[in-house]
């Protein structure tokens, strides 16, 4: 089997994740998009690993959230991530295209990137990684819908199990409801149609190291075979 050689920026990012692993906030990054009327939009999402054998980053979200509409269409599927590691004082800015993987979204780009078999396996894997508490909102009302306490209380309340998954209660685009049942064993085994895996496919990376002396800034572009170009900070 041919060994995969990852670009320098990817190696830097993997090292930063390792060095900052003890800091929970290192798993969160800010993701920007543009609304239909041209307004900039930004939110915090959870990093859920790399797509196997690639440089693409994975997150999950609700397919009913506003960002999904912002990323649908040939001219809309663009993103920029800003990811700061406080411990090592490094910043990564990644820009590129988005592939949306969901049972409820017809994404030609997602089909081209993954294929049906891999899409299903990716959805299954990412869904199984979630705690029950993190799965519950995908079966609840849509993001930004009026709050319905009765609907929340209708979810099963027995069989509570603490699974200890600390990054799944993400403040993505769904409401954070502390009264929701937590980690209920045996529920939500079927993948919700509202569950969406977001694949961020980088085309350009801007790396900044504020800790080095002098400060270091490097640019990388897929059009230039990810060659490292050192520039002024």
Statement: residue 186 has pLDDT above 60: no
pLDDT in tens, 32-82: 999 989 999 999 999 999 999 999 999 999 999 999 999 986 667 899 999
Residue 167 covered by a domain: yes
Give the DSSP letter string of the chain. -PPP---HHHHHHHHHHHHTTT-GGGGEEEEEEE-TTS-EEEEEEE---BPTTSS-EEEEEETTSHHHHHT-STTT-EEEEEEEETTTTEEEEEEEEEEEE-TT---HHHHHHH-HHHHHHHHHHHHHHS-HHHHGGGGSSPTTSPP-HHHHHTS--SSB-----SS-S--SSS---TTS---BTT---SPPTTEEEEEEEEEEEEEEESSSSS-EEEEEEGGGTT--EEE--
Look up the domain containing 30 and give its range.
8-141+160-173+181-231
Residue 154 covered by a domain: no
Q: What per-residue confidence (pLDDT) applies to 175?
A: 37
Q: What per-residue confidence (pLDDT) applies to 75?
A: 67
CATH code assigned at 61: 2.30.110.10
Residue 155 covered by a domain: no
Q: What per-residue confidence (pLDDT) applies to 109?
A: 56
Mean pLDDT check: name the lowest of 61-65, 130-134, 158-162, 226-230: 158-162
Residue 152 covered by a domain: no
Residue 23 covered by a domain: yes
pLDDT in tens, 86-109: 999 999 999 999 999 998 887 655
Residue 2 covered by a domain: no
Count of domains forming the chain = 1
> 181: pLDDT confidence band, cut at 50, 70 and 90?
very low
Residue 146 covered by a domain: no
Rounded mean pLDDT of the chain? 84
Statement: residue 169 has pLDDT above 80: no
188-199: average pLDDT: 93
Residue 3 covered by a domain: no
């Amino acid at each position: 089997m041919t060994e995969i050689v990852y670009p320098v920026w990817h190696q830097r990012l993997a090292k930063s994740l390792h060095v900052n692993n003890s800091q929970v906030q290192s798993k969160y990054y800010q993701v920007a998009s543009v609304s239909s009327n041209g307004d900039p939009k930004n939110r915090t999402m959870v990093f859920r690993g790399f797509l196997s054998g690639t440089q693409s980053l994975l997150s999950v979200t609700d397919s009913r959230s506003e960002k999904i509409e912002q990323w649908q269409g040939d001219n809309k599927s663009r993103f920029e991530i800003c990811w700061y590691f406080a411990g090592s004082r490094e910043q990564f800015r990644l820009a590129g295209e988005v592939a949306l993987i969901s049972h409820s979204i017809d994404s030609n780009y997602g089909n081209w990137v993954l294929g049906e078999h891999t899409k299903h396996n990716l959805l299954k894997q990412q869904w199984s990684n979630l705690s029950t508490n993190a799965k519950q909102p995908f079966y609840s009302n849509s993001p930004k819908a009026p709050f319905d306490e009765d609907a929340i209380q209708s979810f099963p309340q027995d069989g509570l199990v603490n699974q200890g998954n600390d990054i799944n209660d993400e403040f993505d685009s769904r409401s954070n409801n502390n009264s929701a049942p937590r980690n209920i064993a045996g529920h939500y085994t079927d993948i919700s149609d509202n569950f969406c895996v977001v694949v961020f496919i980088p085309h350009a990376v801007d790396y900044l190291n504020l800790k080095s002396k002098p400060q270091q800034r490097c640019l990388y572009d897929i059009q230039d075979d990810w060659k490292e170009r050192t520039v002024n900070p």
